Amino acid sequence: MSAGKRWRLICYDIRDDARYRKVFKLLRGTAMSVQYSIFRARLDDRETERLRWQLSKLMAPEDALLIIDLCPRCAENVVSRNHVDGWTAEPPPFAIIGADSLRGPTKERHE
C-alpha cells in the first residue's frame, strides 16, 4: 500500500434521511462536495480506511458506499461541467479572512 495521499471519489446512496444527514455531515468535514452524494477527498490509505470505518458505523446494510482511488494521471484528467477540471496534486488552499473583512462595508459619515 502506498503511503502518499491520493484523490478519492466517495459516492453513497443512503435510504434514510436521518442517516443521510449524519453521513453528509461527516463527509462535509473531511471532503469537498462534487455533487449530491458525491465527494472528493485527498487521503492516504490509512485515512481512507478510517473514513470507511466511520461511514460503516453510520450506514445500514441497505445503504451503498463506493470509494474510488484515483491515480494521479486519472485525477489530472477529470473533466466536469460547472466544477474544476483536472484535480491537482494538492487541494485548493483556503483563504484566511481577517476580522475586518467580516464586518462588511462601513458607512462613511458625511458632515
Q: 87 exposed, middle or buried (CB, 10 Å; 0-12, 13-18, 19+)? A: buried
**pLDDT of residue 33 exceeding 80:** yes
Characterize the bridge pairing of strands 64-69 and 38-43: unpaired
Q: Which grid coordinates are listed for 55?
A: 461511514
| Residue 87 or residue 57, greater confidence | 57
pTM equals: 0.70
Beta strands across the sheet bearing 64-69:
32-35, 38-43, 6-13, 64-69
| Domains in the chain with CATH codes | 6-76 (3.30.70.240)
